[in-house]
Structure 1
Amino acid sequence: MAILNFIQENLRTQFGDFIFPIITYMGSAGIVWILFALYKFFIIKDKKEAISMIISLLLVLIICLLIIKPSIARPRPFMENTQVRLLIKPPQDFSFPSGHTASSFAVVTVMYIFKDKLRHIAMILAALISYSRLYLYVHYPSDVFFGLIFGVVFGFLAVLIHYFFSNRFKLVDKQKSKRL
C-alpha cells in the first residue's frame, strides 16, 4: 500500500490523470494485443507469431482471470483505501493477478521470441499499461509483479504449445499423404 500511496501523493500529475486512463483502456480485454495479433495474421501474414499471441492471451484468460482471480478473491486497493479518487470506473472483478499486465507481457514475450520488429515498442506499451494499474489505484504492486511473471510464462508456453501442435499436425498430414 505504501507504493500506491507514494504514487498518489508524489507522482500524480494532470497529464498522468489524462493519459493513464487511456493507456489502461488500451489493455482492457487485451484489445491492443488482439489487434497486434490480427495485424500479424492478416496484414503481415506471420501466422505462427499471431497464433502464439492468441494462445498466450487464452492462457491468461483461462488461468489468470477464470481460475486464479476468483480462487484468491483479493479485494482491490481502492476498496481498502476509500479516500482515493478513482479516475476510471471501478473494476468489478478481483485484484490478483493483474490481467492487464499478464496479457501485455504474454504477447510481448511472444514478440521477443519471434524477434518481432515492434517488440521494443510493445514492451514500452506493456510497461505503461502495467504502471497505469498502479497509478489508477486498481492493483497492488504484487498483482502487477505476478501478472508480469504469469505473462512471461504464458508467452513461452504459448510458443511451445503452438510448436508442438503445428509439428504434430504436419506429421499426421505427411503420414496421410504417404498412404494415398
Structure 2
Amino acid sequence: MKLLYSIHKYDVFMFTWLINTRAHTALTQTSRYLSKTGDGSLYLLIAGFLFCYEGIESPLLHAVLLAFLIERPVYFILKNGLKRNRPEAALQNFHSIITPSDQFSFPSGHTSAAFMMATLLGYYFPALLIPLYCWATAVGCSRVVLGVHFPTDILVGLLLGISVALFSLGQI
C-alpha cells in the first residue's frame, strides 16, 4: 500500500504541476481536438475503409477487430475493478475542462486505443510508426491537460494498448 500511495503522491504532484504551468491555457484548445481524435470515430472509419478496400480477408482488419475484442473488456475490467477516481473527484477545488464519459480514470481508454491503433497501423505501414506514436502520445497527454486523467493512467493505457496490439499481431 505504501508503494501505491507513493505513486499516487507523485502522480498528483506531476498533474498539479502541469495544470498550473503557463502553457496549460494555450494547450487546452488543442487538447480538446486531440482528445476527440481518440473518441472512437476514427477507428470505425479506418475499419470501414479497410473493409471497403481490402475486404473481410484484410489481415490488418482482422488484427484491429481482434485487438478491440481483447482491449475493450480488459480496459473495462481494470477501470471498474480498480475504481481510481478521476482528478476532479480526487483533488479538492479542481474542475476538469471536459466532462468524462465515465467515473473512473485508470487506465486511460483513449490512450490505450490510440496506442493500440498506432501499433497496428505502424506494423503494416512502418514509415508511419513514428508519426502515429506521436499522435497517440498527444492523445494521452491531452487527457491530462483536460484534467480527466493522472499521468500513470496514461502510462498504463500506453502499455495496455501496445501489448494488446502486439498480441493480436501474433508478436507476443
- TM-score tier by shorter-chain length is 0.7 to 0.9
**2:98 aligned residue:** 88
CA displacement 1:74-116 (0-9 Å, x = unmatched): 1111112242342212432311111111111111111222235
**2:65 aligned residue:** 54
Compared CA separation, residues 31 and 116, structure 1 to 2 (3 A): farther
Shift in Å at residue 53 of structure 1? 1.5
Q: TM-score, normalised by structure 2?
A: 0.81
Q: TM-score, normalised by structure 1?
A: 0.78
Identical columns (%)? 23
Matched position secondary structure for 1:97: coil
Matched position secondary structure for 1:32: helix
Q: Does 1:68 align with 2:78?
A: yes
CA displacement 1:1-37 (0-9 Å, x = unmatched): 11111111113023x2212112112212x22223223
Which protein shows a greater Rg?
1
Number of paired residues?
158
Shift in Å at residue 44 of structure 1? 5.6
| Structure 1: gaps of 5 or more residues | 162-180
Match of 1:143 among 153, 159, 164: 153
Shift in Å at residue 117 of structure 1? 4.8
- Once residues 93 and 115 of structure 2 are traced to their aligned partners in structure 1, the CA distance between those partners, rounded to angstroms, is 31
Shift in Å at residue 73 of structure 1? 0.8
**2:5 aligned residue:** none
Shift in Å at residue 49 of structure 1? 0.8
**1:120 aligned residue:** 130
